[in-house]
C-alpha cells in the first residue's frame, strides 16, 4: 500500500466539496420556500394591495377638494400649473384692455353654498342606500333653497342676476354625481366587489404556496 493510498486525490476532494455545496444550497432553497409559506411577511403583496385600495377608497370618498374646486369656479379662477397657484380668468374690456373677470359671487355667498351642499357630498350620503326618486327630491330641495337664497340676497352676495343660472348649474354639476353614488346601494356594492377581489387574490396566493411545498417535498 502506497504512502498516500489512504488519502483522496485533489480531484476527488473537489468533487466532494462540490456535492456538499450543492446539498447546502438545496437545503437553503427548501428553507426559503418554507419561510415564504409560513412567514406572515409572505403575504406582503396582499397587504400592500389592501392598503392601496383603502387609500384609493379614502381618496374617492373625501370630496373636500370638490368643494374647493367649486369655490374657485365661482370666483372664476383656474389653476396655473406653471405658476403653481390659482389665477383669475381674464377678458378684454370695452377699452380693449385685458382685465380680471369679476367673480360670480363673493366669499359670503360661497360659504353659504358650501354649508348647504356639504351633506350631499359627504361620506354618510355616499354610503347610504337611496332610490333615484329620493335622490332627485334631495337635489331639487337643495337647489330650490339655494336659488331662493341667491335671489333674496343677491346684493349682499354681489351677484348679477344674469349669473344666477350659471351658479345653479355649476353647483348641480358638483353635487349630482356624488349623490347618485348612493343610488340602490351603489357605493357599498362597489366596495364589496373590491374586497372580494382582494380576498380571492389572497386565497389564490395561499393555494399556490401550498402547491409549491407539495411539489418540493414530493407530496
DSSP string, 16-27: HHHHHHHHHHHH
pLDDT of 94 higher than 70: yes
Mean pLDDT of 100-129: 93
* Contact (Cβ atoms closer than 8 angstroms) between residue 205 and residue 45: yes
Instruction: Specify the pLDDT at position 22.
Output: 53
Instruction: Specify the pLDDT at position 193.
Output: 61
| pLDDT tens for each residue of 123-162 | 888 888 999 999 999 999 999 999 999 999 999 999 998 9
Instruction: Specify the pLDDT at position 65.
Output: 87
pLDDT of 5 higher than 50: no
Mean pLDDT of 7-24: 53
Task: Give the separation between CA 5 and CA 75, rounded to whole angstroms.
Answer: 99
Instruction: Specify the pLDDT at position 171.
Output: 97
pLDDT of 7 higher than 50: no
Q: Residue ranges of the domains in the chain?
A: 62-76+105-183
What is each CA distance from 200 to 18, 36, 57, 148, 207, in whole angstroms? 44, 19, 19, 52, 11
| pLDDT tens for each residue of 28-72 | 555 554 555 455 554 555 445 555 555 545 545 457 889 999 999
Q: Which of 75 and 43 is assigned the larger pLDDT? A: 75
Secondary structure (H, E, C), 201-218:
HHHHHHHHHHHHHHHHCC
Q: Which of 194 and 85 is assigned the larger pLDDT? A: 85
Instruction: Specify the pLDDT at position 119.
Output: 92
Mean predicted lDDT score pLDDT of the chain: 75
Q: Find where cell 340676497 sits.
A: 153
Amino acid at each position: 500500500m502506497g504512502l498516500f493510498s489512504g488519502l483522496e486525490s485533489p480531484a476527488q476532494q473537489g468533487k466532494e466539496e462540490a456535492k456538499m455545496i450543492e446539498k447546502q444550497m438545496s437545503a437553503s432553497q427548501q428553507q426559503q420556500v418554507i419561510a415564504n409559506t409560513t412567514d406572515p411577511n409572505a403575504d406582503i403583496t396582499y397587504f400592500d394591495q389592501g392598503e392601496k385600495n383603502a387609500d384609493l377608497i379614502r381618496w374617492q370618498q373625501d370630496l373636500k377638494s370638490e368643494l374647493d374646486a367649486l369655490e374657485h369656479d365661482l370666483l372664476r379662477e383656474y389653476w396655473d400649473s406653471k405658476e403653481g397657484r390659482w389665477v383669475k380668468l381674464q377678458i378684454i374690456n370695452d377699452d380693449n384692455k385685458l382685465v380680471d373677470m369679476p367673480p360670480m359671487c363673493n366669499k359670503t355667498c360661497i360659504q353659504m353654498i358650501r354649508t348647504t351642499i356639504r351633506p350631499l357630498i359627504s361620506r354618510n350620503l355616499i354610503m347610504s342606500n337611496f332610490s333615484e326618486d329620493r335622490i332627485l327630491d334631495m337635489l331639487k330641495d337643495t337647489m330650490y333653497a339655494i336659488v331662493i337664497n341667491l335671489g333674496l340676497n343677491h346684493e349682499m352676495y354681489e351677484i348679477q342676476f344674469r349669473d344666477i343660472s350659471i351658479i345653479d348649474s355649476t353647483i348641480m354639476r358638483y353635487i349630482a354625481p356624488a349623490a347618485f353614488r348612493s343610488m340602490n346601494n351603489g357605493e357599498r356594492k362597489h366596495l364589496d366587489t373590491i374586497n372580494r377581489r382582494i380576498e380571492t387574490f389572497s386565497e389564490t396566493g395561499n393555494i399556490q404556496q401550498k402547491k409549491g411545498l407539495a411539489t418540493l417535498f414530493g407530496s
